[in-house]
Amino acid sequence: MKKRALALVLSVVTALSLLTACGGSTGASTSTQTQEATEEKEGEAAPEATAEVGEPVESTIYPTPAGVTYKAIAEGKSAPDWSEYEALITEIKTTTDMENRVALMHKAEDILMGTAAVIPIYYYNDLYLQKTDVEGIYSNLFGFKFFQFATCPRPVLKINLASEPAKVDPALNSSVDGACLAVNMFEGLYTYDKDGNLQPALAENTEISEDGMTYTFTLRDGLKWSDGTDLTAKDFEYAWKRAAAPETAADYGYMFDAIAKNADGTLDVVASEDGKTLTVKLVAPCAYFLDLAAFPAYLPVPQAQVEAAAGWETNPGAWAAEAGFVTNGAYTMTAWTHEESMVLTKNDNYWRADEVTIPEIDLMLSADDTAIFSAYNSGDLDFADTVPTNEIASIMGNPDFHVIDNLGTYYAAFNVNSPIFEGKTVDQAIAMRKAFAILIDRPYIVETVGQTGQKVATSYIPAGMADGNGGTFKENGAYTFPVGDGYYPEEVQDAAIDEAIALLEYAGFKFENGKLSADTPLNITYLTNDGTGHIGVAQIMQQDFAEIGINMTIDKREWNVFLDERKQGNFDFAREGWLADFNDPINMLEMWTSDSGNNDCQFGR
């Protein structure tokens, strides 16, 4: 799930001293203002080059995984053919051989990482501020925060999660802050407890067939929507089929691929006539299916209200675009001043309403780290899901400052169809991307921007993720990574500059005295959302690339505009982050299929 601004704010004074002390990024600007390249056209493509310019180069720092080769998706294109990867994902989802499934997932990550289009930087953790007299807020590894069973001595809990959410409809949301809203306003068949364990929610009983192919959920009695109408298994049948339908165009539509389909293409999900049971047939046994049943895309939505909204057939999220929509969870949204605030009010029809002690939650909608921190310190917020980096050292150890584990990866990504790769072969385009990847000083980013013990990422699938077969994916003894525990070393290598130059020379670029020649400039635009932490990471990379004359312009956009531009492929290079939706590598791999709404790299398109 897309992770928004972590408020990893780069302090001008602190970062300047740190940057000048670190050789890998000496001289990097720490201004919170975007550094624009002077008199360069944004996104300007390098002059076309042919494979005859430069000899083929294999990176020793970032080697291509054994057995992995690429061909172009079409003649004259530089994007890789993606059919092998997509076939692998299908096989992973349908195989019953769990040991082989682990091997297939390693192969899929090899193909993904071999493109160098996905450039991991560090593995996530999560930090936040919470007043010491507020108790009972909890989170899970996937970043979902649960406020519904918290206690507060005040009648209103005041919080900040992020700025204006892109979508509130749980079927259409794909961000972590949106998921937090969803799990506090809606509830599904399963949920997570305070210890991060999966537990039944609206499902009173679950039966799984011996072959693992059929799940039958029996719902609790007396379930209601917030408007008092009955909630039944038919609401789940509708919601799941709607979320998976192509016309809904949900980013997470692919997460329903585990469910078998009827002849007409709809999901094989059937509610009983009395609405008490939901029977689901799967394509293959799915060890994480109950995790899916707790995921926001699997939450129920009220058909009558969804289809009463004007233009719902072409704008499926219209029903939840303003306050007052029907929910079934602990809270309903009773006020929404766009770009400013939301008010959540206790839902007395929630089946656990007697356990909800806070009658109202007020949300400050902002991504302004400084304003959020000020509001928290002045008593206007009880919970802030962001901390300015320049404040971390001073509040480390305070009882209201928390750092918890997450399961996910902060990374940057290339659009494989970007104009910067025009005229290149598929291997030349990969060489270009590897040149960028090996120049990035990841430990320096962790030290100066993260500051809370993030681990440098050497693979896309994060450390600690299970392998779906009783083990840990990165510690699987049957597989050997190309370099250490990943695809490249944690530290920037002494040979990185020389090798990056050699890779770019193979791709047709010329160099003079260790810098790109004016005859073959390399100008690239980095798309990011507003947030000084993201800008800080961008500025460090900008300086790392400048070591050999690459000119990177930072294009900072408002959150919703950023999301849309990235999704549409209107970028060269972009800020990315993904928190796992459940603890299985397939979640990090299936998002890159050509039909996925989360395939920002544009693979297979």
Each residue's pLDDT tens digit, 282-326: 999 999 999 999 999 999 999 999 999 999 999 999 999 999 999
Q: How far apart are CA 153 and CA 181, in angstroms?
A: 22
Query: Coil, helix or strand for 503?
Result: helix
Instruction: Look at the alpha carbons of 59, 65, 67, 69 in this order and tell me if their dihedral is positive or negative.
Output: negative
**Mean pLDDT, range 506-534, rounded to an integer:** 94
Mean pLDDT of 128-145: 97
Please answer whether residues 474 and 485 qualify as being in contact, where contact means their C-beta atoms are separated by less than 8 angstroms. yes
310, exposed or middle or buried, with CB in 10 Å at 0-12, 13-18, 19+?
exposed
Q: What is the pLDDT of residues 220-261, one digit of tens each?
A: 999 999 999 999 999 999 999 999 999 999 999 999 999 999
User: Does 26 score more than 90 pLDDT?
Assistant: no
Could you count the other beta carbons within 10 Å of the beta carbon of residue 59? 22
Residue 18: CB partners within 8 Å, gap ≥ 6? 447, 448
What is the pLDDT averaged over residues 154-182?
95
- Model confidence pLDDT, tens digit, residues 469-480: 999 999 988 899
Is residue 43 very low, low, confident or very high in pLDDT (cuts 50, 70, 90)?
Answer: very low
Lowest-pLDDT choice from 48-57, 274-283, 513-522: 48-57
Q: Is the C-alpha dihedral spanning 90, 94, 97, 101 positive or negative?
A: positive
The answer, yes or no, to whether residue 414 has pLDDT greater than 70, is yes
Split at pLDDT 50, 70, 90, the class of 393 is confident
CA distance 106 to 88: 10
Query: Which tokens sit at 567?
Result: 């999704």
Q: What is the pLDDT of residue 53?
A: 55
Question: Is a pLDDT exceeding 90 seen at residue 515?
Answer: yes
Token readout for 239 is: 């919601």
CA 224 to CA 318: how far, in whole Å?
A: 22
Half-sphere exposure of 95 (CA within 13 A, CB side): 18
Separation of first and last alpha carbons in the chain: 21
DSSP collapsed to 3 states, 408-426: EEEEEEECCCCHHHCCCCH
Q: What is the mean pLDDT of the chain?
A: 91
User: Using one digit for the tens of pLDDT, what is the confidence trace for 421-440?
Assistant: 999 999 999 999 999 999 99
| Calpha distance 581→587 (Å, rounded) | 7
Distance CA 344, CA 360 (A): 6
Exposed (0-12), middle (13-18) or buried (19+): which is 439, by Cβ within 10 Å?
Answer: buried
For residue 3, what pLDDT band results from cuts at 50, 70 and 90?
low
Residue at token pair 């928390």: 402
Q: Does the pLDDT of residue 559 top 90, yes or no?
A: no
| C-beta of residue 418 within 8 angstroms of C-beta of residue 601 | no
What the block records as the tokens of 387 is 């901390």
Please give the angle made by the CA atoms of 594, 585 and 200, to the nearest 5 degrees. Answer: 110
pTM score: 0.88
Q: Which residue has the tokens 């959302």?
A: 529
CATH of 132-381, one of 3.40.190.10, 3.40.50.300, 3.40.630.40, 3.40.50.150: 3.40.190.10
Angstrom distance (rounded) from CA 260 to CA 434: 39
β-bridge partners, 270: 279
- Residue 33's pLDDT band (cuts 50, 70, 90): very low
- pLDDT of residue 401 exceeding 50, the answer is yes
pLDDT at 479 (0 to 100)? 94
Domain boundaries, the chain: 12-60+74-123+406-592, 132-381
**DSSP for 426-444, written as a single string:** HHHHHHHHHHHHHH--HHH
Residues 67-90 have pLDDT tens digits of 999 999 999 999 999 999 999 999
Angle between helices 426-439 and 496-506 in degrees, nearest 10: 160
pLDDT for the residue 527: 98
Give the CA distances from residue 375 to residues 181, 367, 508, 604, in Å, rounded to whole numbers and listed in that order.
Answer: 21, 12, 52, 45
User: Would you state the pLDDT for residue 57?
Assistant: 87
Q: Which CATH number is associated with domain 12-60+74-123+406-592?
A: 3.10.105.10
Q: How confident is the model at residue 166 (pLDDT cuts 50, 70, 90)?
A: confident
What's the pLDDT band for 377 if we cut at 50, 70, 90?
A: very high
Do the domains 132-381 and 12-60+74-123+406-592 match in fold? Answer: no
Residue 417 — very low, low, confident or very high, per pLDDT cuts 50/70/90? very high
pLDDT at 388: 84
pLDDT band for position 112 (cuts 50, 70, 90) = very high
3-state SS, 73-122, equals CCCCCCCECCHHHHHHHHHHHHCCCHHHHHHHHHHHHHHHHHCCCEEEEE
H or E, element range at 241: helix 233-244
- 529 membership: H or E segment, kind and range: strand 523-529
Q: Which of 19-23, 259-263, 420-424, 530-534 has the lowest mean pLDDT?
A: 19-23
Mean pLDDT of 274-286: 97
At 340-367, the pLDDT tens digits run: 999 999 999 999 999 999 999 999 999 8
pLDDT given for residue 176 in this prediction:
93
Tokens of 522: 């390399």
